[in-house]
Amino acid sequence: MQAAAPGLRERKKAETRAALRAAAVRLFLERGPAAVTVSDICEAAGVSARTFFNYFDAKEEALLPWDKHLIEEVITELAARPAAEPPLTAVRRAIEQTFPSLTASTGWQACDRVLTAYPELRTTIVHGMLRNQSRLASALAERAGQTGGRLYSQLLAGAAASAFRAAFSVWAPETGTAGLQALVGEAFDRLAAGLPPELT
């Protein structure tokens, strides 16, 4: 039942990624993110500076224990939702389904320490999430066919991404991924209710 032997190539990539992340976290904690350059991280991880950007889109992303394939997972889950399901519900469930993968990641504790020490990182990281949104919008447009048109797809993707971003923005990392999931759930509840001031 376990995945096929990953092979040397995949293993090395995982090691490089882990080394980069470990170096980034350590240096961020030591000197603060602003005083750490990408070159510093790469030197500590033993790879060239150019390689960093084969793994991460931005300096700050090296902090997070999730990576790009998570958005693909969301999109896969989305495709697996029943066609009759209302779009907002489908996105919500797709995101919820990927939380186990999120929880399985190691490195939350380190992430917690850095985010607590340097709250401004949160903003930067949240900004980076916008790249994923267009992937999601395309997937939604495809799924929905003509339902609601392109405006609706874009809006839905934006709203879903906003739900996640808002949750991440106010999340106390020490509550763990379960805490994050609860916030995401609340955000989607509010969206589904039409953003009233109070949830009834």
Q: Are 110 and 131 in contact (CB under 8 A)?
A: no
> Per-residue string for binding with a second copy, 85-124, x by CB under 8 A?
-xxx----------------------------------x-
* Contact between 51 and 39 (Cβ < 8 Å): no
123 touches DNA (CB under 7 A): no
Could you tell me the two tokens for 170? Answer: 């106010």
Indicate which single residue of 1, 2, 3, 7 sits in contact with DNA (rule: CB under 7 A): 7
Structure tokens at 177: 């991924």
Instruction: Out of 23, 24, 28, 59, point to the residue binding DNA (CB under 7 A).
Output: 59
User: Smaller CB distance to a second copy: residue 34 or 193?
Assistant: 193
Q: Is 12 in the site for DNA (CB under 7 A)?
A: yes
Residue 83 interacting entry, from a second copy, DNA, none, C-beta within 5 to 8 Å by type:
none
Q: Please choose, from the candidates 76, 108, 110, the residue with its C-alpha nearest in 3D space to the C-alpha of residue 93.
A: 76
Does 44 interact with DNA (rule: CB under 7 A)?
A: no
Contact 84, 68 (CB under 8 A): no
- 51's contact among a second copy, DNA, none, with CB below 5 to 8 A by partner kind, is DNA
In this chain, which of 32, 47, 155, 179 binds a second copy, going by CB under 8 A? 155
Q: Of 135, 8, 114, whose CA–CA distance to 62 is shortest?
A: 114
Q: For DNA, which stretch binds (CB under 7 A), given 45-53, 67-75, 82-90, 142-150? A: 45-53
Crossing angle (nearest 10°) for helices 69-80 and 87-97: 130
Q: Which residue has the tokens 């999120």?
A: 102
How far is Cα 33 from Cα 132, in angstroms, rounded to an integer?
23
Cβ distance to a second copy smaller for residue 65 or 158: 158
Question: Cβ of residue 165: shortest distance to DNA, in angstroms?
Answer: 17
The upper half-sphere exposure of residue 58, i.e. CA atoms within 13 Å in the direction of its Cβ, equals 13
Q: Which residues bind to DNA, rule: CB under 7 A? A: 7-10, 12-13, 16, 36-39, 47-51, 53-54, 57-59
